[in-house]
A and B are shown apart, each in its own frame.
Chain A
C-alpha cells in the first residue's frame, strides 16, 4: 500500500529565505506526483505536476524535483514571502490502474516578515 510522508509537519522561516519541503513515498512505482498548497479554510491549489519520466518542474519561484528510485520529491521555494504561508501537500498517483491520488498530511509553512 502506497504511503506518503511529509516532514516536517510545520516549518517557520524568515522572509527572504530559500527553503525545501520534503515528500517521501513508500512505493517507487508511481505514475506522477502533484504538489498543492492549501490556505486556511480553502480548497487545494495545484502548484506543479511531475510526470514519472521527469526529474523536475519549475513554476516561478517554485521548483519541484522527483527521484523515483529513492521515493522522494522536494519542493524548493526561492526567496520566500509572507504570502507563501500555507500548508503544502504532495500526492502521488500509484502505478497500475488506480486513478486515486494518495496524499501526505502536509507541511504547514509560516514565512515571517
Chain B
C-alpha cells in the first residue's frame, strides 16, 4: 500500500519568507508526527497529532512554527518568517497510535538563503 508522502521534496526560500510543508499519512493511521533533522544532529520532535485530541506542540522551537491537521488526515507544517537556522530536513511519520511502529515519509529538505 501507499506509504507516507511529503511535498515538496526540496524547498529553497529566502530568509523572511513563509513556507508550508505537507504530509499525507498512511490511510487509517490516526497518529501523525513531525520531526526535524539538522545536519549532524539527531531527530528533533516537533509536534504530534492523535485523532481528535489537542496536538502535543511541546517540540515546536518558536511561535514561528505551527501545524494543522485537517480531517484527521493531511497535515501542513508552516514556518513563518524563515531564518537560516530553520534549514533542515523535515520528516513526517504516522502510526496507528498507542506508541506503535512509526512509518516515515521521505522528508522535505528546506534551505533558507
Query: When the two chains form their complex, are residues B99 and A43 in contact, meaning their CB atoms are under 8 A apart?
Result: no
Total interface residues on A, CB under 8 Å, equals 21
Contact at B102–A46, with CB atoms within 8 Å? yes
Contact A44 B104 (CB under 8 A): yes
Contact A43 B107 (CB under 8 A): yes
Please tell me the size bucket of the interface on B: 20 to 34
Kindly state the separation between the CA atoms of A45 and B4 in the bound complex, as whole angstroms: 11
Pairwise interchain contact B59-A105, C-beta atoms closer than 8 A? no
- B108 to chain A minimum Cβ distance, whole angstroms, is 10
Is A43's CB under 8 angstroms from B102's CB?
A: no
Q: Provided the pairs A44-B91, A45-B104 are in contact, do residues A31 and B99 lie with their beta carbons within 8 angstroms?
A: yes
Q: Which residues of B contact A93 (CB under 8 A)?
A: 99
Contacting pair B99 A104 (CB below 8 A): no
Contacts A100-B59, A106-B42 given; does A34 touch B48 at CB 8 Å: no
Q: Which 8 A-B pairs have the closest CB atoms?
A: A44-B104, A43-B104, A103-B43, A105-B42, A93-B99, A43-B106, A49-B101, A100-B45
